[in-house]
Chain A
């Protein structure tokens, strides 16, 4: 990966810190709200809140495209590096949002234990820190190594989220098709956004 891309990712990682804090906060509030405030929340409320939660990272990406890109271009960043960063940003947010949803789902659909909440908080902090450290990691280890590290950690996160077979079977036995729909929408949105972002840049 060239120097310019590393520099751009470094800058983005500073910007991401803000995004991830919002996601964590949103996820925490959602989970706590569902599990402590409302007993047996009706499906509609769950879907409504999940949708809102899904919109947050997407709107943050859109915000990035609409405003940050102009700034990055004015600092001499190439369009190619910006496309790449959009793909990376979108992929990261998708993965992490899905992880949040899965964990939240689990917390909402099973009895909470302190362990689960603790693990969730730790895993989310870890993924947020990684997002912020992306820049450092890329500069230190190079893109390939960094990608490997991220895949391992995010993969581990996903595995952890789906960890307990017991939870998984219970989870899947009453399949929440809504989660799958949201996941699908997020992926679709991610694709649209990267395309949209590319066209926005091309028109600048």
Chain B
């Protein structure tokens, strides 16, 4: 891998964001080390897009700092040239991008991103079968996603943030995206932070996962380590309760005398297994639902 790994981390320190009087991000501290693929998951309205936007200095935080290594990011052209934020494209009828053609959009990108790889962009346009002459307003949701993916990959930015890049893509295209992402990651060691709702599909690609709940970071951890701490226990209610005594539990489900519950153990903790309970691993999606569902 090339010198992308030499870059210092991208950090949020004590970020607060308020819209009018409503605080939507509360004291976010986040460190993104270079050379990793991070997943960002959270419910709609949790603040993912706002957080990504603030990290990329496209939206000002109400207070707090964003730094890349020792440099601040806000209004700093030098550091900004290392960051690409590929947000969901939403061509409202009057917006600038609506009347742009695909090739105009990519031409603009080639102007703004100093490390733009035109050859890669052209190749991806062919792979995704996008028509360069088509107006963005006329693109389907899937094609819009493909365009955001091309922007993200061909920008060759050291820190690339993608906001829901697979929205609208069918399963084959999503598969293609993960493969392209890993290919690019292996070649360059760039850092990626990707927000997604398609959790289980994407989780094997994420080295670390960040869960955002109600504007605060619930956890940030190596994906495999996190999942090894999570189990789902079910059986007769008293047996389950005995087994999970002293452990952090989430989302109890009851029907009749049977009970199921999700457990997230701390390092070193164990539950008491017995013949009376079923113990099953928890997928990232189900863990997320357990941690961020309404019942808590």
Contacts and interface: CB of A to CB of B under 8 A. Distances in A.
Q: Do A and B bind each other?
A: yes
Interface of A: 2-5, 7-8, 10-11, 14, 67-68, 70-81, 204
B80 interface: yes
A4 B80 contact: yes
B83 A76 contact: yes
B95 A74 contact: no
A27 B116 CA distance: 39
A4 B81 contact: yes
B151 to A, nearest CB: 9
Contact of B75 (A67, A68, A70, A78): A78
B111 A7 contact: yes
Contact of A10 (B57, B81, B111): B111
Contact of A2 (B56, B77, B95): B77
A76 B84 contact: yes
B293 interface: no
Contacts of A77: 112
A74 B96 CA distance: 11
Interface in B68-117: 75-78, 80-81, 83-85, 87, 94-97, 107-109, 111-114
Contacts of B107: 14
Given A3-B77, A67-B96, A70-B95, A76 B58 contact: yes
Contacts of B56: 76
B109 to A, nearest CB: 7
- Output the residue of B57, B58, B95 with the most chain A CB within 10 A: B58
B219 interface: no
B94 A81 contact: no
A80 B109 contact: no
Nearest to B104: A14
A75 B109 contact: yes
Interface of B: 56-59, 75-78, 80-81, 83-85, 87, 94-97, 107-109, 111-114
B95 A71 contact: yes
A2 B113 CA distance: 14
A71 B59 CA distance: 13
A190 to B, nearest CB: 22
Contacts of B85: 74, 76
B77 A78 contact: yes
B59 A204 contact: yes
8 contacts: A7-B111, A7-B112, A67-B94, A70-B95, A76-B58, A78-B76, A79-B75, A81-B77
Contact of B80 (A74, A78, A204): A78
A73 to B, nearest CB: 6
B58 A73 contact: yes
B175 to A, nearest CB: 27
B81 A67 contact: no
A73 B97 CA distance: 13
Contact of B114 (A7, A8, A204): A7
A76 B75 contact: no
